[in-house]
Structure formats: structure tokens, C-alpha cells
């Protein structure tokens, strides 16, 4: 099997790459070739099991998608995106990368399909940002998409495209509405939600972290480990049970900031919690009030998707995967 990861240099892309190299099996198929593509050169992990090819490329360049699809990968993971804060700050860049790049990819598949009957599995990384306030809690699977950011709007449009191209038999698409991925390893990115990871990640290694919102803010989370699991399952599952509603809200953990902090206290003690410095930011707080507090995710659960069930599990996954099991 030939697989392609677009956005392979991002955090989830790197984690997915590592996982596929460790276990190059998707369902009953063995991965023999893996292409890694991103606007910055993806890391080239050492491997002797499969053919690994890395390419620096910008999907929003209309010539790139056709080149990638000419190789006819059977499974395509489309993870490339400009994150929420950056998409809001740079309107043109957000639409060029998040929408135009996705459309270019889908159309490249369509042209190859029309020529040769090519019909790959496409796993699209969407976002819970496709919904917006006023929001019930928990949010049912049938809740309408009313994004309140440009990023959410771009993802919602791509979800419609994914469903329509799948309906027409061009590809077999699954849209994964990712919760906020927490705890993100490495340095903070430009996502407006980055503080959710920061108030846990930094104190776990003895560093100060800034909390810009009240303790009462509630949101929906899953670990990087779960995000990789979502992608794997979407790539190999029987899509016959999904039906025409191809975009799924993933399971996760609903928690307030206060509950996050208490989970940190239980695992790392008072000393870690004392490293959290409160610096209220009215703009970030106002933005957070429109974010999803939590989902029922009944459809995803019934289809076999799984995530953590409490925040201690999320913190422990970070400790095991990033801190060598030592807090």
C-alpha cells in the first residue's frame, strides 16, 4: 500500500508518521511506500521497512496536487492547515491554504479518477471549530455548523466538499473533527487554544505558564496519541456504515480549566500548579466563550473511534510519550 501524508511536518503529522513506521499496517494492508509532504521539509526518520520519500511542497500551489496524486496513493491523510489564530489574523493566507489547497487536492484526485478510475481513501483533518455559539452541552451529532471564525468556516466548506466528492464516487472520504489536541509537545504554535497545553506542558518540566482565561472556561480535548488513533482508524475502517454524513465529531474529554489544573495537581503536585501565572486577556476569553464545551460523539463511538476518558489520562499520555514516563 502507498500512503501519503500532507502536512507531515506538523505535530499530528510527525506523530502519525512515527506510528505508521513503527507499525506499517492499516487494517489488512501493509504500507510499502510512505510519502511525507509539507511546506517545510519533513524529517526523514530512519527506516528499512518501507520506501520513504520526503518532499517540501506547498499544496496551495496549483501545480503541486497533481504531482502528488500522479503517484496514486491508496490512502491520503490531509493534515495541512493554517491554524486558528493565524487564519484569523491573515484572511488571504487562511483561505489560500485551508480552502484553496484542499480544493486543489480534491480536484487532482477527481481528474485522476476520471482518467483511470482512481478512488483513494481520503482522511481529512477537520476541526470542532465548525460549530459555534450558542452551543448546548453536550453538543449532539446533529448540531448545525455555524463557525464563528475564518478557520472554522474554511474547515466547514471543506467538509461539504469532502462529502460531495465522496457522494460522486471520486474518493472515499472521512472527515475527522479533531478536539483541541492537548498536551501538544514542543513549542507553542499560533493556535488561539495553545494555552490549554501550555498550562500543563510547561509546569510539568518546571517552567512558568501563562493562563489568559478564567478557570470556568470549558472545552473539548484529546491527546496527540488519540489524534493518531483517529487517523489510523479512519484510514482502515469499513466506511459502509457512515452513510452520507462523512464528517464525524471525535470523542474526547470535556473539562474546565479548573479541572485541568486539578488533574495536574493530582499528578505533579502543588509545585507544578504554582507555576501557572494568571494574566487575563479579554480578547482570548471572549473567543473561548464561543468554543465547543463537549460533544456526545455517539456516531464516532459507534464506529469504533476511541479517546481518553479523563484528563489524568491525557496528562499521563504526555508524560509517557514526551517525558520518558517521568514527571
Q: Is the dihedral of CA 79, 84, 85, 88 positive or negative?
A: positive
What stretches of the chain show up as alpha helix (H) in DSSP? 11-22, 64-69, 84-89, 91-94, 101-116, 150-167, 195-204, 224-236, 257-268, 270-273, 282-288, 298-302, 311-322
CA angle 147, 283, 88 (to 5 degrees): 45
* Active-site residue identified among 95, 118, 137, 151: 151
Q: Which of 28, 41, 39, 125 is nearest to 74 (CA)?
A: 28
Nearest by Cα to 260 from 327, 211, 224? 211
**Coil, helix or strand at residue 168:** coil
Asked about 137 being catalytic, the answer comes back as no
User: Cell 479512519 identifies what position?
Assistant: 234
Query: What residues contact residue 130 under an 8 Å CB cut-off, 6+ apart?
Result: 145, 147, 152, 155, 156, 159, 177, 247
Please give the positions annotated as active site: 151
Amino acid at each position: 500500500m502507498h500512503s501519503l501524508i500532507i502536512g507531515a511536518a506538523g505535530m499530528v503529522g510527525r506523530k502519525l508518521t512515527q506510528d505508521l513506521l513503527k507499525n506499517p499496517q492499516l487494517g489488512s494492508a501493509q504500507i510499502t511506500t510512505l510519502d511525507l509532504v509539507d511546506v517545510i521539509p519533513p524529517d526523514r526518520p530512519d527506516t528499512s521497512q518501507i520506501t520513504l520519500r520526503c518532499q517540501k511542497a506547498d499544496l496551495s500551489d496549483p501545480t503541486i496536487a497533481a504531482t502528488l496524486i500522479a503517484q496514486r496513493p491508496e490512502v491520503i491523510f490531509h493534515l495541512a492547515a493554517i491554524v486558528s489564530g493565524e487564519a484569523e489574523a491573515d484572511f488571504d493566507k487562511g483561505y489560500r491554504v485551508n480552502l484553496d489547497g484542499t480544493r486543489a487536492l480534491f480536484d487532482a484526485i477527481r481528474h485522476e479518477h476520471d482518467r483511470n478510475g482512481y478512488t483513494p481513501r481520503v482522511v481529512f483533518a477537520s476541526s470542532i471549530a465548525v460549530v459555534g455559539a450558542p452551543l448546548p452541552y453536550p453538543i449532539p451529532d446533529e448540531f448545525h455548523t455555524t463557525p464563528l471564525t475564518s478557520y472554522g468556516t474554511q474547515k466547514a466548506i471543506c467538509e461539504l466538499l469532502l462529502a460531495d466528492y465522496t457522494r460522486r464516487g471520486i474518493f472515499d472520504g472521512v472527515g475527522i473533527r479533531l478536539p483541541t489536541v492537548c498536551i501538544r509537545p514542543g513549542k507553542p504554535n499560533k493556535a488561539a487554544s495553545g494555552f490549554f497545553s501550555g498550562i500543563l506542558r510547561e509546569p510539568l518540566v518546571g517552567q512558568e505558564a501563562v493562563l489568559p482565561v478564567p478557570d470556568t472556561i470549558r472545552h473539548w480535548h484529546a491527546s496527540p496519541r488519540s489524534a493518531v488513533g483517529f487517523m489510523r482508524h479512519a484510514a482502515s475502517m469499513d466506511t459502509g456504515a457512515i452513510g452520507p454524513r462523512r464528517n464525524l465529531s471525535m470523542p474526547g474529554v470535556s473539562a474546565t480549566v479548573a479541572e485541568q489544573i486539578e488533574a495536574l495537581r493530582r499528578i505533579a503536585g502543588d509545585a507544578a500548579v504554582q507555576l501557572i501565572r494568571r494574566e487575563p486577556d479579554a480578547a482570548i476569553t471572549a473567543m473561548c466563550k464561543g468554543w465547543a464545551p463537549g460533544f456526545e460523539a455517539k456516531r464516532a463511538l459507534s464506529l469504533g473511534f476511541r479517546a481518553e476518558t479523563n484528563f489524568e489520562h491525557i496528562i499521563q499520555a504526555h508524560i509517557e510519550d514526551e517525558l520518558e514516563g517521568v514527571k
